[in-house]
Amino acid sequence: MPRYLRPEPFAKLEGRLDRLELVLGSIADVASSHADGGFDGFNLSDVFEYLDPELCRSIYETLVEHSRPDARLAYWNMLVPRRRPDSVAERVSSLDERAAELYARDLAFFYGTLVVEQVSRA
Ligand X SMILES: C[S@@+](CC[C@H](N)C(=O)[O-])C[C@H]1O[C@@H](n2cnc3c(N)ncnc32)[C@H](O)[C@@H]1O
3-state helix/strand/coil string of 69-87: EEEEEEEEECCCCCCCCHH
Question: Binding ligand X by CB under 6 A: which of 6, 10, 33, 50?
Answer: 50
Give the footprint of ligand X on residues 3-42 (CB under 6 A): 26-27
Using the minimum distance from each CB to ligand X, give the nearer residue, 13 or 27: 27
Question: Binding ligand X by CB under 6 A: which of 45, 81, 102, 106?
Answer: 45
Closest CA to 59 of 95, 96, 30: 30
Closest CA to 75 of 54, 91, 99: 99
User: Least distance from C-beta 26 to ligand X, angstroms?
Assistant: 4
Closest CA to 89 of 112, 117, 68: 117
What is d(CA 35, CA 71) in angstroms, rounded to the nearest whole number? 13
User: Least distance from C-beta 47 to ligand X, angstroms?
Assistant: 4
- Residue type, position 83, single letter: R
Does the footprint of ligand X cover residue 56 (CB under 6 A)?
Answer: no
Interface residue list for ligand X (CB under 6 A): 26-27, 45-47, 50-51, 59
